[in-house]
Structure 1
């Protein structure tokens, strides 16, 4: 399939599990060049209690996490949607990836919460630019639950469609983000960094 645009997009949340993967799936179906990442130190998933999360290292496969949760409590992780989420994830790629360890170049980095946005900014500021091309970092706040992740994927898809129509994204992005913010009624953060 021919890509819908030549924009290289990354969607980033904390664990590369829910919000970034839902948007990744959505954008890939629409034909965007998209990758997804997390910025956390570990992949953290809800457990049997709030103080007992399931914690994994980045690099573990979605398949291994699925098997682990299945063996711990199939009913709980079916009811809370985690097994379904992992099923979707392993159809997209093999494992959660950490943004700070990736060296690919992007045009747009879309984060799903302000803390992740700050981590991405810090990472980009500490990186030695390779090409000095501009990368736009945009934050759209999305709560970390299944319903919000779906709504967020629609919003991110709308934003990417709007950006893909621009002839000169560096010039047009402020206007596009302003229009998008009016439409989605969520505050948007935007910064630039260099690849």
Structure 2
């Protein structure tokens, strides 16, 4: 892939094809994550605590990024300041409302692994499954992106969720709400 993934411009068949690629990459992505955080992935809800605890010690912002003061917009990060698309998780899109570009590439890979692990743990203990995000409302944030459906009333995005958790750990957002993979799991499946 020579460009960052553009979920907004995808057609439904393209989003379905992307999801197949995303799921085909699941096993190697989880192996890479397990190796990075040096944790045995058992897909048991209790294992989420150790996986996240090991992840947070490795998170960092992109070199040169400083979180803005509360209530201020973050700095714009140009495409020339980011690694080529081939060196980042396939779901990385820029620009994004999620602010993925503010994380170091190593952190993006950790977010990828943590998100996939959270997603697979939820799926294995519920009736949920991965699907392309598809809502008819204009500006739907997860349009065509991998989300989990069948767990909560609305689809949930493990990638976005883990990016928010990572941001909280690095101190750039309010500490309100879930702070760990375990917190998220408990909210989604209760």
User: What is the TM-score with the length of structure 1 in the denominator?
Assistant: 0.25
* Higher fraction of strand: 1
User: What is the TM-score with the length of structure 2 in the denominator?
Assistant: 0.26
Q: Which has the higher Rg, Structure 1 or Structure 2?
A: 1
